[in-house]
Amino acid sequence: MISQTNLKNIDDINSNKKKKVAIITGSSEGIGKSIAVAFAKSGEYDGLVINSRKIDEAQQTASEIKDNAVNSGLNLDTIAIQADISRESECIKLVEQTIEHFGRLDVLVNNAGIQKNIPIEETTLDDWHKIIAVDLTGPFVCSREAVKHMEKQQNPPPAGGYSIINISSVHQAIPKPHYVPYATSKAGIEMMTKTMALELAKKNIRVNVVAPGAIDTDMNKVLRENKEERQRVLQQIPVDRIGSPEEVANAVEFLASDKSSYITGTTIYVDGGMTLYPSFGLSSPSPSPSSHNQK
């Protein structure tokens, strides 16, 4: 049995535990916002950076999260930083302004992403470059700049070290016709993550992927508006429902925390089983052995 004294000691340890600073790119709405909310609710952060290409949206989300934290008795500072992740100079600015304000960076979540439905024969180089710039090059540049600061900071997080989490997609593994640049970028994210994880392991920096499936966000608003498309997608999901941004955020919060201190270079799929080749699933329960004809 745990004594009241031991419980008090645990509370004292938790209250004195050094808190973290995190950047979440593309976090004014959708999955990114849910990640920021999950981080705030965890009580493990004293600084969050909300990022968007639109500063007013980032400021609104930052204020909302900070107000909710204060109302919950949490000491949390949030700031909004405008940055277009497709531009190297703005990725550098995002990290530098974070360091200027908070003095450190412990967690980076590369969440910003775009996609476009277009057949390959109609895909221009401009289409290709725009999507790759946001979905692959941006996470590389943000990670590179974050690592520069993480490896020279004093007093790193004690157990789990620093954490970089790349938000990918089931389409790092499942081909997606009409989305060649998008699927290509996500496959690149997976190998970039593995390579970075191996390179940075001895520097106390963990790197992982969270790969969502069909999630109820504005990017997938067709699933809300088109009943036939929703039904088609549901047939690809063994658990037979669309996921929520909060379910993705829970996985990200876990990977950013000390609870995942022995995990690096891996992918957590938050997809309801979409990557399990659902067409091979059972359409009805298998017959019991007793029902087989005997010979």
Catalytic site positions = 182
- 177: three-class secondary structure by DSSP: coil
**DSSP characters over 123-175:** --HHHHHHHHIIIIIHHHHHHHHHHHHHTT-SS--TTT-EEEEEE--GGGTS-
- Using left for φ > 0, alpha for ψ between -120 and 50, and beta otherwise, residue 151 falls in alpha
Nearest to 36 by CA among 89, 77, 96: 77
Q: What are φ and ψ of residue 190, in 5° steps?
A: -65, -45
DSSP letter (8 states) at residue 285: P
Q: Which residues contact 192 (CB under 8 A, 6 or more apart)?
A: 136, 139, 140, 166
Spatial contact of 146 and 204, defined as CB atoms under 8 Å apart? no
C-alpha of 213 from chain center: 12
Other Cβ atoms within 10 Å of 254 Cβ, number: 17
Return d(Cα 71, Cα 63) in angstroms, integer.
12
